[in-house]
A = this chain, B = another copy of it.
């Protein structure tokens, strides 16, 4: 069983409530070849994303990805939210923990594991390599509409 994801949509937004990290295993990704992956929630479809794919993930203590993979055209970023583990890119082993962020280029051969005694919670983001023109605050524009909760 996979838990239903609560979503709501408006003209300029979508919102989903995935629940607390400790309960993320309720979400199961049905993988055509590998079967059910417990604790993996992809958000592109439920949030109607057009520029990125995002997944929330959790790995129990002592578990990891049993295979390596690379990408065709998407840059990937892994944000480790809580716990500790290891991340492999090509021949390099990186130690990861709360607050660690890893970028992997398409060609990077990657795998990761939770070699600790606590759950490892993380986020993966995919976006097409080389597509971002403006970052930080250069794409944003402050507008005159008031914040709802201001006087």
Residues of A within 8 A of B (CB): 8, 10-21, 24, 29, 31, 42-45, 47-56, 64-75, 77, 79, 81, 86-94, 96-105, 107-109, 111, 113, 115, 123, 125-137, 139-143, 145-150
Does A104 contact B12, Cβ atoms closer than 8 Å? yes
Residues of B within 8 A of A43 (CB): 101
Residues of B within 8 A of A64 (CB): 147, 149
Q: Which residue of B lies closest to A54 (CB)?
A: B77
Residues of B within 8 A of A45 (CB): 135
Instruction: Count copies of this chain in the complex.
Output: 2
Residues of B within 8 A of A150 (CB): 66
Does A101 contact B131, Cβ atoms closer than 8 Å? no
A55-B10 Cα distance, complex, nearest whole Å: 24
Does B135 contact A53, Cβ atoms closer than 8 Å? yes
Residues of B within 8 A of A70 (CB): 140-141, 143
Q: Which residue of B lies closest to A47 (CB)?
A: B103
Does B88 contact A148, Cβ atoms closer than 8 Å? yes
Does B132 contact A53, Cβ atoms closer than 8 Å? yes
Does B147 contact A100, Cβ atoms closer than 8 Å? no
A148 to chain B, nearest CB (A): 5
Q: Which residue from B13, B72, B93 sits with its C-beta under 8 Å from A108?
A: B13
Does B131 contact A31, Cβ atoms closer than 8 Å? no
